[in-house]
Amino acid sequence: MSREQVFALLSAQSGEFLSGEDISAQLGISRAAVWKAVDALRRDGYTIEAQTGLGYRLTDSPDALTERELRRYLGGTETVGKTLYCFESIDSTNSFLKRAAAEGAPNGAVAVADEQTAGRGRRGRSFSSGAGRGVYLSALLRPRLSPKKVLPLTALGAVAACNAVERACGVRPQIKWTNDLVLNGKKLSGTLTELSLEGESGALDYAVIGIGVNCNNAREDFPPELRDIATSLCLETGRRVCRAALAAALIEELDGLYAALQGGDTAAYLAAYRRDCLTLGREVQLLWQDAREKVMALDVDEQFGLVVRHEDGRVETVRTGEVSVRGLYGYVE
């Protein structure tokens, strides 16, 4: 406990010195206990300078997705992020929360991992989730809504992720229908939503929404087959990302999304999605199992379905569970 208390005091000093005597007096612990706490924090990766007559000051923090680091950046939320599960490595944050949900984990619980060993995307695809490079985060939601009302959650999550990236990193990605975030024509992030329904009533038990963002990956960190279509915030901006700050922004944005979904007020998300969706106005390919068809993407409806015009002039709306979209000549184009 003294380690966390000492960290809180040093963090509040904003890089200024705080004497060991003051720390001891404020916390009611011995000077030896202060020193042990400082030593433990250093072993956790924190840089703490000590000067005779001045005391201690925190000068640098590790790039870690620990609860301590997330709480430094996380503001007040109504629901999402009250409970945090932080892992150095986990099979999948979505899979963990599904297990936790079955054991009664609370509404708004969040799982964050430094690495996923079995990260998953849509349609069972793997999601590259190497240690120390990205933010891999999932939230457990228990809205009192019908399953139909929750179907747009994936698309809403894409908007929330765009908001978080813009807040934390100063750049706003675009969205490739239905849920991929794109920066400079390459995939930056993906979102996966999974629902659990009660067997007899068909009512919604819970939803888990997972977001993975490539942060500090170098090109060689991606598998060879992804290097031409995937990117990271660091590759595109030339700046390393504070992953804890981005994770905190994601949690805050998901909290706002949840409130909007519960209240039925998602018009602002639909407007943002339409503005940011780079699929619109393009000729794209619809992938129907083994079949491919060229269409023009016209609009996104209120349930985030893609309105398309076929070559014969017929207009229809397709849903993400039915098809995938690819560019004609690459990931986007």
pLDDT band at 295 (very low <50, low <70, confident <90, very high): very high
Dihedral angle sign, alpha carbons of residues 308, 314, 320, 323 = negative
**183 - beta bridge partners?**
186
Strands 186-197 and 204-214: antiparallel
pLDDT band at 198 (very low <50, low <70, confident <90, very high): confident
Mean pLDDT taken over the chain: 91
Residues 174 and 225 in one domain: yes
pLDDT at 275 over 70: yes
C-alpha neighbours within 13 Å on the C-beta side of residue 333: 5
CATH number of the domain within which 315 lies: 2.30.30.100
Residues 136 and 15 in one domain: no
Residue where a domain terminates, one of 21, 42, 60: 60
Helix (H) or strand (E) holding 247: helix 243-263
pLDDT at 108 over 80: yes
User: What is the predicted pLDDT for the residue at 239?
Assistant: 95
pLDDT at 77 over 90: yes
Residue where a domain terminates, one of 39, 60, 81: 60
Residues 85 and 220 in one domain: yes
CATH number of the domain within which 38 lies: 1.10.10.10
Residues 175 and 302 in one domain: no
Residue 265 domain boundaries: 67-276
Domain count, the chain: 3
Residues 87 and 118 in one domain: yes
Residues 202 and 116 in one domain: yes
Closest by CA position to 142, among listed 90, 100, 178, 87: 100
C-alpha neighbours within 13 Å on the C-beta side of residue 235: 24
CA atoms of 209 and 2, how far apart (whole Å): 35
Q: Which two tokens stand for residue 94?
A: 């979505």
CA atoms of 98 and 105, how far apart (whole Å): 9
Q: Percent of the chain scored above 90 by pLDDT?
A: 75
User: What is the predicted pLDDT for the residue at 73?
Assistant: 93
CATH number of the domain within which 110 lies: 3.30.930.10
